[in-house]
Amino acid sequence: MIFNQVELAPADPILGLTDAFKADPRSDKVNLGVGIYKDESGQTPILKSVKLAEQKLLDNETSKSYLGIDGVQAYNSAVQTLLFGEQHQVLQQQRTVTAQAPGGTGSLRVAAEFVARNTDSNTIWVSNPTWANHNNIFQSAQLQVKQYRYYDAPTHSMDFDAMLADLATAKAGDLVLLHGCCHNPTGIDLNQSQWQTIAELCLQKELVPLFDFAYQGFGDGVEEDAQGLRLVADIVPELIVANSFSKNFGLYNERIGAVTLVAKDQDTAKTAFSQVKSTIRGNYSNPPAHGALIVATILGDNELRAMWEAELQQMRERIAQMRVLFVDTLKSVGVSQDFSFISTQNGMFSFSGLNKAQVERLREEFGIYIVGSGRISVAGMTRDNMPAICHAIAQV
């Protein structure tokens, strides 16, 4: 027997919270933990563009035969265009390769394992703080995780000088995890001049950017949110992107994302891609089709694409409205602390500055679930639950 040697794993900091939420019998409980978009009525709807694409697929599908190791080809090229735009040099020079992968998580894992298995590089730098699963993913792929400073808690702002100082100690070949937009958990992104500085640092020190791009379209817009990535790709010879369509297409449970490599030339890209495929083959063999076919159908059809962009805009705008309402409601229930920084943050999350003890009280006394770091999913707020949330925060 071997199972008795196994130690109990700690609950996942985010999904473990969802389990606790589900088990909570209170009817007025609110889940602001996991990053899932909810509409004004508290539902996570299927986008209309997705439903229409699925109908098309259902009507036209003729086979359930295996996909190739790298997935749906039309999907992979649509991903490249969405990431870089039609005209970017990395596409024109054909030094970009993409493999469909299961969600952002699967894409990050394939990327990390590809690097760990095939290169001298064994270290990845992640921001402090970062998405809780990054450590787990990269350590599972045998990479050593180091942290660069990113956030200045007292001022609720970016500590860019500290980020540069920490990355200045990285060695050639190290990976640097960068959030493409809507930094999770802080909601604070680099501006164009900071992207430029980071790109030049990576070039000079031969660091390899790994973009985690899980929220394209949730910041300022589909094109706007890709500006940092495109600028970095203008400057550095090599980079990796792990992107996800869980949030921006609402395809959470379809597990759809992609890993994209940009190499210095076409031959290097081809060789590297052969090892990306080998990594996938030894892992899950080849990806499931449905999510990729939905995304490819929408992005390949002008009408569906326009509909998707409008739906994405609606999600983005609702979250922005909730940020403003959150700040205003806190003020109106008598919270004297200044929370105005929340309305300038990007994406689904707000880094509230609430501490562990306050987070615990919110859960135990009020049934309001947020992550221990104080990260609040603004996407889970509605006009209906806002007063209760703000009254509870005022109490703690």
Residues that bind ligand PLP (CB under 6 A): 35, 103-105, 131, 179, 184, 212, 214, 244, 246, 257
Q: How far is the CB of 133 from ligand PLP (least distance, A)?
A: 7
Choose, from 166, 189, 247, 308, the residue flagged as catalytic: 247
Q: How far is the CB of 357 from ligand PLP (least distance, A)?
A: 25
Q: How far is the CB of 257 from ligand PLP (least distance, A)?
A: 5
Choose, from 212, 225, 277, 308, the residue flagged as catalytic: 212
Q: How far is the CB of 28 from ligand PLP (least distance, A)?
A: 25
Q: How far is the CB of 213 from ligand PLP (least distance, A)?
A: 8
Rounded-to-integer distance, Cα 246 and Cα 105, Å: 10
Q: How far is CA 236 from the centre of its chain?
A: 22
Rounded-to-integer distance, Cα 52 and Cα 90, Å: 32
Choose between 329 and 350: whose C-beta lies nearer to ligand PLP: 350
Choose between 287 and 390: whose C-beta lies nearer to ligand PLP: 287
Alpha helices in the chain (DSSP H): 15-23, 48-60, 73-84, 89-92, 103-118, 133-140, 160-167, 192-205, 227-235, 266-281, 290-299, 302-332, 356-366, 386-395
Q: How far is the CB of 123 from ligand PLP (least distance, A)?
A: 19
Active site residue 308: no
- Which of 151-167 are b and which e, b meaning 16 or more Cβ less than 10 Å from the residue's Cβ? beeeebebbbeebeebb
Active site residue 24: no
Q: At 256, which helix (H) or strand (E)? A: none
Are 110 and 276 in contact by the 8 Å Cβ rule? The answer is yes
Query: How many Cβ atoms sit within 10 Å of the Cβ of residue 293?
Result: 23
**Crossing angle of helices 133-140 and 103-118, rounded to 10°:** 40
Q: Is 285 helix (H, G, I), strand (E, B) or coil?
A: coil
Q: Is 65 helix (H, G, I), strand (E, B) or coil?
A: coil
Choose, from 125, 131, 195, 308, the residue flagged as catalytic: 131
Active site residue 212: yes
Choose between 248 and 329: whose C-beta lies nearer to ligand PLP: 248
Choose between 246 and 297: whose C-beta lies nearer to ligand PLP: 246
Are 32 and 377 in contact by the 8 Å Cβ rule? The answer is yes
Choose between 96 and 133: whose C-beta lies nearer to ligand PLP: 133
Choose between 179 and 323: whose C-beta lies nearer to ligand PLP: 179
Q: What angle do CA 257, 222, 255 make, to 5 degrees?
A: 15
Rounded-to-integer distance, Cα 81 and Cα 83, Å: 5
Residues involved in catalysis: 131, 212, 247
